[in-house]
């Protein structure tokens, strides 16, 4: 049986001699319910609506602990904000379309692009160990608003 994000986080905290506080539980559970990429700021605003006693620093530190545990990954899409994605919910490798107007992020997978990247790397004597493809542009909703 697979352990939940919270259970795995608790295991990590225990290995670091840290406690799973009620605040951390709330933050991890809120993060687990989010889909896609979420910034610490967005998660904080969401949590603050119902639990104003949790500070922004606690949200930031908890997301960092999740990332340190390998349970979340952070990525900057060029706008100065790191957005986190739950590694347990993430599908196989995927790439991103990022709207430069509204910040919308669309995840996609395309086997043709993956094969082309492998061919390009091989043609240049590279063995791919990791990669990411981020395509920046204007989403359909924003282009209609022009």
Binding residues for Fe cation: 93, 95, 114, 131
The beta strand positions in 36-116, using DSSP E, are 38-39, 72-76, 82-86, 95-99, 105-108
3-state secondary structure of 79: coil
Residue ranges for the known binding site for Zn(2+) are: 99, 102, 139, 142
Residue ranges for the known binding site are: 93, 95, 99, 102, 114, 131, 139, 142
Q: How, if at all, do strands 134-137 and 38-39 pair?
A: unpaired
Alpha carbon separation from 107 to 20, 93, 143, 146 (Å, rounded): 32, 10, 19, 24
């Amino acid at each position: 049986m697979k352990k939940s994000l919270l259970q795995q986080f608790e295991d990590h905290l225990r290995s670091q001699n840290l406690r799973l506080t009620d605040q951390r539980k709330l933050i991890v559970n809120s993060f687990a319910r989010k889909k896609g990429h979420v910034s610490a700021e967005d998660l904080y605003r969401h949590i603050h609506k119902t639990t104003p006693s949790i500070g922004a620093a606690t949200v930031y530190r908890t997301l960092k602990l999740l990332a340190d545990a390998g349970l979340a990954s952070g990525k900057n899409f060029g706008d100065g904000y790191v957005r986190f994605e739950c590694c347990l919910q993430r599908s196989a490798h995927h790439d991103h379309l990022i709207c430069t107007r509204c910040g919308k992020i669309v995840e996609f997978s395309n086997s043709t692009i993956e094969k082309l990247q492998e061919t390009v790397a091989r043609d240049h004597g590279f063995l791919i160990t990791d990669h990411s493809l981020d395509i920046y542009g204007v989403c359909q909703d924003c282009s209609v608003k022009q």
